Structure 1
Amino acid sequence: MRKRVLMVMTRDIPPEATNGRERTLRFIRDAIGSEVELREFTIRSLFESGGSAAKMAALIRLMRGIVTGAPCALQVAMFADRRKERKLAAMIAEFKPDVVYLDGVRLVDYASGIRVLIGRRPIIFDFDDLMSRRAAMLYDARLPVSPGYLTKSIPGPLVRLANASFIRQAFLRYERYCLQGHERQAVEAAHAVTLVSSDDAQALGALLDSRTAMRKVHVIAPPMTSTRPLARPADLLRFVFIGSDTQLQNRLSIDYLLGLWKRLAPRTPLVVYGRMVREYDAVPNVRFAGFAPSHDDVYTSGSIAMCPAFLGGGIKSKVLEAISHGCPPVGNATAYEGLGFQDASLAMSEADLERFVTDPSSHLDAVLDAAAEFAAYCEAHYSVTAFSTRWRNLLALSPAIQMQPAAPPMPAHQPLHL
């Protein structure tokens, strides 16, 4: 009899998702669904489900947290829904899952009820990024709150109000504190917790009070599928950046790159791909090319991917995407955070990046050598096969098995044994 797995989701998984969290969820479903009987159950936020009942449920959840001395993050309260709890309980009673997968810490309130219903059978929390760490980074850098995949659902005036300077810092400080409590609670309730970044896993370990809890934490990065081998650029060289400025991390990178080209006036062009919502001043040798129908239009044989990152947490999929298309990804240390691979020829200092942009030919050999090593590293550790094996092994673990402690920080080029 095949194992039954219930995936409790906060969003739908588009069948052709090609990037971001949706792509990772599709790979998770494919990895575990081929060998188990799989069902999905979706719990949407109050901004998506709408209605006065949903808004009242969130308010009650926030008030209950204050009264009990265990305050609730807004990102958790917005998924409070008694009707969904009852429907989920009915599905569990009917389906009798052997494993329950929960899509993120936002669903932590559902864990205790699930535990009562399934007994000692495993619960897996897939954190993706460590949300409390992201809130702390936004707070420290005084950066705006970004709703992420809920951007289309949350009213614009509410987002602008939350980003008013006198509100934003207090809100982020509150969310960070609450999310740290939720993350500890999720680890306690779970059989296993997954993150995409080794740096996030270490940050979570600092929040936990026992090695037993830390043994539950696993790092499983999104997979990379190589479509073209790395080759020396044969055409006229150009730099490319891909990403819509609707996402905060992309806005920060685009602003940095435009400032770089305006200040240094390099002869090598920069082409920016993606749907933009902001207007940008014209900068010599910079072109906005809009949405790219295919990655082949971006990662041409003469392209080098510019991947500087200024918001930590998780891992930067741009780096993996570029190398999978045979394009060297050049960025900074933050761009390579959590991957277990660091080389100064790719993860450049600011001064080195400026020198490379100004005179790429003088540094191209070192960049290509490092990119070749990175490509081999990714093939070994971030393949679809390795990703699927890690998820299947996680599902196969018995609740009684003690999991291995998380590894210490990896030196440069040291593989992560995940």
Structure 2
Amino acid sequence: MTGEVLFLAHRIPFPPDRGDKIRSHHLLKHLAQLAPVHVACFVDNSSDMAHEGDLATIARSYRLIDRKKSLPLAGLEALVKREAVSLAAFRSQSLKDYVAKLLSERPIETIYVFSGQMGQYVPEGFAGQVILDLVDVDSAKFEAYAPGMSQPMRWINEREGRLLKEEEQRLVERADEVLLVSDSEVELLRRRLLAPIAGSNKIRALSNGINSNFFNPALVAPEPELASSRGPHYVFTGQMDYPPNVTAALRVISRLLPAIREVMPEAQFHIVGRNPVPKLREYDGVKGCRVWGEVEDIRPFLLSADCVLVPLEIARGVQNKVLEAMAMGCAVVLSKQAATGIGATDQLHFLVADGDKPFVQAALQAVKEENRISLGEAARHFVVETKSWQAMLEPLADLVKAGLRRRQRL
């Protein structure tokens, strides 16, 4: 490439400590090896802003926007403009001005849009290549939330799903390449398009990877409290104000753990992740539950787990929490939804179970010593051999070049 890249992201790609930021972090680093990269993104809090120096070491230039707009205000704007709240929440005139100035001053050949909320910053007249990384199909996620909610949240989520579906259509038509995290998300998007798309083969999968050198059981010590108490210890990790994670954790607490403790009375369930909502915190210390909140390092908890549970009922894309647990040599029991896109084999690399009774049975089987060891060893071998970030992102350079060649022929 002789030109430069503009990378648009809805969150600063540092630190890589949650699903979307892990993917954007590795994408940004990879793109920076191909060409000079300019970054425009949002920060959610002072912790994010503390990583400005990390971003400065990679980006040729950057603009960070402190996202202070409240959700109620974004909701009002969205109602007035008949648009998705997700778009209003990430709208900034300052970021738009930065993009316009950058495009007028620098030889930007490619705009990489990370997450659909940022597609609004691609100018109509931009003549270069647009790569749209939707990661997963957000509109389908909001549609899935709606049925289990009471009004007005049901209406809000139905509306968000419908309007995001329209925005996804617009962005797919605009982009030269459309990336999603798995083949199943690719097929889902193709089925949901509101009108046929010319050249629909531009929609393809670019999967997530895992840094198995960091997530390595040989590099950390067990978490002391878990190591010194009887178990078995079941662990669930994730952003604990994210609705699917909250629902999964409550499923364990209310339905799965009581059945497990009928067989293993000393079984404990550990919820590890930032921002646990109040209805989770109230279970801390109750009937074998421990709610840890944010921890400095997730690895000691995974190392100390007898089994990692991932009973997600709504799961889009590839679950980083599953890859992390597998890389740490954990026995993992997960739902079919959570297994989507991983590419591993049930009964060899992890145990897939749907329905409460099968899930409990699998959770009891997984903590037997021979099963725990064999599943953990097979899981780590699988991710080390097949899921490195370098391998997952290898096609990116060719996608960038192919898109530029195609545009040059137009």
| TM-score, reference length from structure 2 | 0.77
The 1:102–1:290 alpha-carbon spacing in structure 2 relative to 1, beyond 3 Å, is closer
Residues 1:7 and 2:13 aligned together: no
Residues 1:196 and 2:181 aligned together: yes
Residues 1:224 and 2:243 aligned together: no
Residues 1:173 and 2:158 aligned together: yes
Residues 1:241 and 2:216 aligned together: no
**Structure 1 vs Structure 2 CA RMSD:** 3.2
Deviation at 1:346, TM superposition (A): 1.3
Residues 1:207 and 2:192 aligned together: yes
C-alpha distance in structure 1 between counterparts of 2:157 and 2:292, whole Å: 35
Deviation at 1:183, TM superposition (A): 0.5
* Alignment check: 8 A CA contact 2:353 2:362 kept: no
Q: Which residue of 1 aligns with 2:103?
A: 92
Q: State the secondary structure of the residue aligned to 1:309.
A: coil
Alignment of 1:30-109 (within 5 A): 30-42=29-41, 48-50=67-69, 59=77, 63=80, 71-82=82-93, 84-109=95-120
Deviation at 1:13, TM superposition (A): 2.6
| Residues 35-74 of structure 1: per-residue CA shift (max 9 Å, x gap) | 31111123689992559xxx69983x7545xxxxxx4212
* Alignment check: 8 A CA contact 2:233 2:307 kept: yes
Alignment of 1:235-314 (within 5 A): 237-259=232-254, 260-265=256-261, 266-267=264-265, 268-275=267-274, 276-278=276-278, 279-281=281-283, 282-300=285-303, 303-314=306-317
The 1:229–1:212 alpha-carbon spacing in structure 2 relative to 1, beyond 3 Å, is farther
**Residue identity in the other structure for 1:316:** Q
Q: State the secondary structure of the residue aligned to 1:127.
A: strand
C-alpha distance in structure 2 between counterparts of 1:396 and 1:12, whole Å: 26
Q: State the secondary structure of the residue aligned to 1:25.
A: helix
C-alpha distance in structure 2 between counterparts of 1:311 and 1:305, whole Å: 18
The aligned length equals 361
Residues 1:135 and 2:146 aligned together: no
Deviation at 1:123, TM superposition (A): 0.4
* Alignment check: 8 A CA contact 1:137 1:312 kept: no
* Alignment check: 8 A CA contact 1:201 1:219 kept: yes
Out of 122-131 and 333-342, give the one that drifted further.
Answer: 333-342
| TM-score, reference length from structure 1 | 0.76
Deviation at 1:303, TM superposition (A): 2.7
Residues 1:126 and 2:133 aligned together: yes
C-alpha distance in structure 2 between counterparts of 1:370 and 1:212, whole Å: 44
Deviation at 1:255, TM superposition (A): 1.1
Deviation at 1:396, TM superposition (A): 2.1
Out of 171-180 and 238-247, give the one that drifted further.
Answer: 238-247
The 1:133–1:381 alpha-carbon spacing in structure 2 relative to 1, beyond 3 Å, is farther
C-alpha distance in structure 2 between counterparts of 1:194 and 1:301, whole Å: 36
Alignment of 1:328-347 (within 5 A): 328-344=331-347, 346-347=351-352
- Any unmatched runs of 5+ in structure 2? 45-64
- Percent identical residues: 18
Q: State the secondary structure of the residue aligned to 1:18.
A: coil
- Any unmatched runs of 5+ in structure 1? 65-70, 143-164, 403-418
Which structure exhibits the higher relative contact order, with contacts defined as CA atoms closer than 8 Å and separated by 6 or more residues?
Answer: 1
Q: State the secondary structure of the residue aligned to 1:300.
A: helix
* Alignment check: 8 A CA contact 2:273 2:292 kept: yes
Deviation at 1:187, TM superposition (A): 0.7
The 1:211–1:57 alpha-carbon spacing in structure 2 relative to 1, beyond 3 Å, is closer
Q: Which residue of 1 aligns with 2:125?
A: 116
* Alignment check: 8 A CA contact 2:210 2:323 kept: yes
C-alpha distance in structure 2 between counterparts of 1:213 and 1:141, whole Å: 37
C-alpha distance in structure 1 between counterparts of 2:66 and 2:303, whole Å: 40
* Alignment check: 8 A CA contact 2:307 2:333 kept: yes
Deviation at 1:195, TM superposition (A): 1.4
Q: Which residue of 2 aligns with 1:352?
A: 358
The 1:174–1:269 alpha-carbon spacing in structure 2 relative to 1, beyond 3 Å, is closer
Q: State the secondary structure of the residue aligned to 2:303.
A: coil
Q: Which residue of 2 aligns with 1:415?
A: none
**Residue identity in the other structure for 1:38:** V
Q: Which residue of 2 aligns with 1:406?
A: none
* Alignment check: 8 A CA contact 1:4 1:36 kept: yes
C-alpha distance in structure 1 between counterparts of 2:80 and 2:290, whole Å: 50
Deviation at 1:177, TM superposition (A): 1.3
The 1:57–1:43 alpha-carbon spacing in structure 2 relative to 1, beyond 3 Å, is farther
* Alignment check: 8 A CA contact 2:4 2:107 kept: yes
| Residues 383-402 of structure 1: per-residue CA shift (max 9 Å, x gap) | 12113313223222234549
